[in-house]
Structure 1
């Protein structure tokens, strides 16, 4: 596929958002490779489209900072790009020229009409199918040659394609947060698709050095297909425990077990805060229509949102209060659904530790185990001991791991994922788990 021809003019919808800004940076680097690195004489335009002009101004600052990081890290490559520019002598001059050249390709706009001249439309707006269909349909009517790459994490691509009448010119291109750092790219092909678009998406992913996993076009795909059900399981177990121990202890205990005893980077409720309580519920609602036999909701999410507990991040990336309150990224308080107030964890963590009971003497921690070459051996030893312990904590962890495995296998059995390896790759690469859910540990 001729990337140069299709990337002469590109638009990103929702460019100033959390995901859109990262996607925008990646595309600016790809266009730099073509124009500067490839010595292309053609003009390249990258349009940042969003509803807020102020947010777009802030986006430009973020793009510059990321270009500077890239340039400093890849100065040898840049010197090769500018080897014929004898007026550029030192690294600082090359870096400045690089940033300036990339920034001249960028245009900002609050008008959807800006996308009418683009060959490629990348979309990272909120998970609202009706809004996506409206915008895509409007662009397609005014630009029949446009191709769409949507970052939706849950909405079936085929439904968008049909309702927006895109004649096969859309593909799911689901980046993980933050796109600039995350290696995983979940690619979703609807039944009706333009093969040239598929070829372009593969070539572009390769140029961005992404790890590609293809998911079938089923709501939630692989990543949220697993994560959402994993979160619902934790909410159900917390609800059961809250009957005797209260919600604050239930949230804290399940979060601790899912982090420490399953060897994950975050506990399940900290991850839910990171994604956003509101975003989680919206994704579940998006998935529900495709799974009428499942209950993809939980009253606790509704109660949290009714009280303004949303989670998510501030513009600087710091964590907003959600199920937990945070201080410099550390959990300091936990929300009690009964009282509507936060409780300091110092007042409950000893009780939770006592409740968990005996735990493995062979200690491993996610941060260290993921760096170990003998990771599998360490995990085998840890989980072997965990299975031998008869305590509340050990039994809850084993049941949790077995359920995570069952979810993963269900995604394979129902053809959402092509293989167990694909499920494991998504959870290991996209969610940074130390091991995939389909394993021999449970």
Structure 2
């Protein structure tokens, strides 16, 4: 059996070989990682373990605090920020569980936008085809797991930022119920919508990472029969403009799931989505809350360049009157309660994570209309889980040329049930 140290050294040498052209990681911790790997190997030799993450190579998105260094969050503006006094809560918990933290992964500036482009620190090429977009905002996280430079990567998800890169890079991405994982020491975008979740090769790895970050005992999920399970398909606006290959892979996936005896039923949520869209027409909740976080530099002007795709929406949201925000938040609370009631008739919703596969980086950087359209499509399905306070997971769909995910969505707090269902669907696939 390969030692953790040997596995780590292989990854570090891979990363060293491309050091001049590194866009997946923004920071590496070779010496700290080597010490953690040696600790894991020593425990293994002694027949001891700290649990399933002991010796796992983990990367963290560049918005989590690591003691003694600034948290850059994909922005040049924060490169001279004061150093973090201590590790983020989730970083501390991962270390305690024996995880080998190899480095910080690249992201879109301030975790805004879904394409995965970063004009300051480079854009990580998709794990399957480096000429294509990685998806954002946890861009480096999706590529790192997809290319195998980390076993698990921790991202944040405000409108789909874990599940979009998972979908486009062919890996698993889990967005837990908001506030289930502590946000302390994570650079915020939206206090209401932010969630912290893992990307990994398997559901089991996501389960282990989630439990450690939540502070729960890590247990294997008891198996669950899909027979008789009620799966709602929210056909309607979330299925419009879906690429034919994605649509075909999704329908094949449904046939596979239905063969187990699961009960598929169409369910309509278009009215709730339309209602929330109407009340956030002038500014999304993420943009309005983000505008408060960045209010100081938005008022005075940025001291260094900021990605215009980030500064533009934040500036516009900063100009909105307070009643617009309060009204949106009040309506959201009512609609989240209505959605919870609507979903009581099913165990999970199933839909494509992203209706499209990854376009090329060149195409979206050269064609502004294509970029805007792609951004809207990438966020459309995933953001429903954040907006209505649900939990969701993206699983790679089989037999598709370019990766796209199948997304399963469950009610607020039903995370364990969702993960058990996902583990069974993964086994089927």
- The structure whose RCO (Cα within 8 Å, separation 6+) is larger is 2
Question: Of Structure 1 and Structure 2, which has the larger fraction of its residues in helix?
Answer: 1
TM surpasses 0.5: no
If the length of structure 1 is used for normalisation, what is the TM-score?
Answer: 0.28
